[in-house]
């Protein structure tokens, strides 16, 4: 085994040298990623158009409501208030890592394809929103820019306890990560048997 080819040692990893293997690994996850990103960007545009300046829309009282917020930081508002540069760089790094992971993992089966596509789409949509969204109000790359990701889904599973607002891209990231962990756990478990 050559040092650079770990496919024999780790069956979940694959060789990245064959163009047909690269196409097979990327086609389904990238198509799903584009679909997730388009749906997320569309729902964020709808939220901005219909929820801005309005009281929250309660869908299932008190569990679910729609309320427009802008998250200037990373997940759960971390790194907020520091401009857009660091969150954009972190988002780009995450997207790059997910692309690398998509190339390296053998996406065998629909669950792993779905997991990688959901995570890529969620990361792409939030990066788009953070990098290209309205600069609110200082300009695209100004350190004073407070642009961020549009969040509008609010869950209150118990009275008095509210989950931080999120969007469909965030949901896709979480569901995709859960699916990927499940498939890797199943792979590890089957290797032990």
Q: Is 77 left (phi over 0), alpha (psi -120 to 50) or beta?
A: left
pLDDT above 70 coverage of the chain, percent: 73
> Is residue 11 over pLDDT 50?
no
- What are the backbone dihedrals phi and psi of residue 80, each rounded to the nearest 5 degrees, phi first? -70, 155
Q: Does the predicted TM-score (pTM) go above 0.95?
A: no
Per residue in 111-161, pLDDT tens? 888 999 999 999 999 988 888 775 444 444 455 545 678 899 999 988 888
> Is residue 14 over pLDDT 80?
no
So what's the pLDDT on residue 110? 84
- 3-state DSSP assignment of residue 1: coil
Query: Rounded mean pLDDT of the chain?
Result: 79
**Domain spans, the chain:** 19-192
- What are the backbone dihedrals phi and psi of residue 25, each rounded to the nearest 5 degrees, phi first? -70, -25
When pLDDT is averaged across residues 30-37 and rounded to a whole number, the result is 96
So what's the pLDDT on residue 79? 55
CA 143 centroid distance within chain: 24
Q: CA-to-CA distance for 90 and 84, rounded, in angstroms?
A: 10
So what's the pLDDT on residue 177? 94
Cα–Cα–Cα angle for 113, 105, 175, rounded to 5 degrees: 45
Residue with structure tokens 């960007």? 41
By CB atoms closer than 10 A (0-12, 13-18, 19+), residue 107 is: buried
- Residue 133 CB partners (closer than 8 Å, separation 6+): 147, 148, 149, 150
So what's the pLDDT on residue 105? 75
DSSP state of 160: T
Q: Annotated catalytic sites, by residue? A: 151, 170
So what's the pLDDT on residue 184? 86
Residue 19: pLDDT band (50, 70, 90) is: low
- Residue 82 CB partners (closer than 8 Å, separation 6+): 73, 143
- Residue 85 CB partners (closer than 8 Å, separation 6+): 141, 143
Least confident of 8-12, 53-57, 131-135: 8-12
So what's the pLDDT on residue 146? 53
Per residue in 72-110, pLDDT tens? 766 655 555 566 677 778 888 989 998 888 877 765 678
So what's the pLDDT on residue 154? 94
């Amino acid at each position: 085994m050559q040092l650079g080819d770990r496919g024999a040692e780790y069956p979940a990893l694959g060789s990245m040298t064959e163009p047909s293997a690269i196409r097979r690994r990327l086609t389904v996850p990238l198509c799903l990623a584009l679909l997730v990103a388009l749906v997320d960007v569309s729902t964020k545009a709808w939220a901005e158009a219909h929820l801005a300046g309005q009281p929250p829309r309660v869908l299932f009282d008190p569990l679910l409501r729609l309320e427009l917020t802008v998250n200037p930081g990373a997940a759960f508002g971390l790194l907020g208030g520091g401009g857009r540069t660091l969150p954009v760089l972190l988002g780009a790094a995450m997207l790059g890592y997910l692309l690398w992971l998509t190339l390296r993992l053998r996406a065998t089966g629909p669950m792993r394809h779905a997991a990688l596509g959901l995570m890529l789409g969620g990361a792409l949509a939030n990066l788009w929103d953070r990098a290209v969204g309205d600069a609110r109000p200082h300009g695209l790359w100004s350190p004073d820019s407070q642009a961020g990701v549009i969040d509008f889904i609010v869950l209150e599973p118990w009275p008095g306890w509210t989950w931080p607002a999120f969007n469909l891209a965030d949901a896709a990231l979480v569901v995709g990560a859960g699916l990927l962990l499940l498939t890797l756990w199943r792979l590890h478990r089957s290797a032990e048997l």
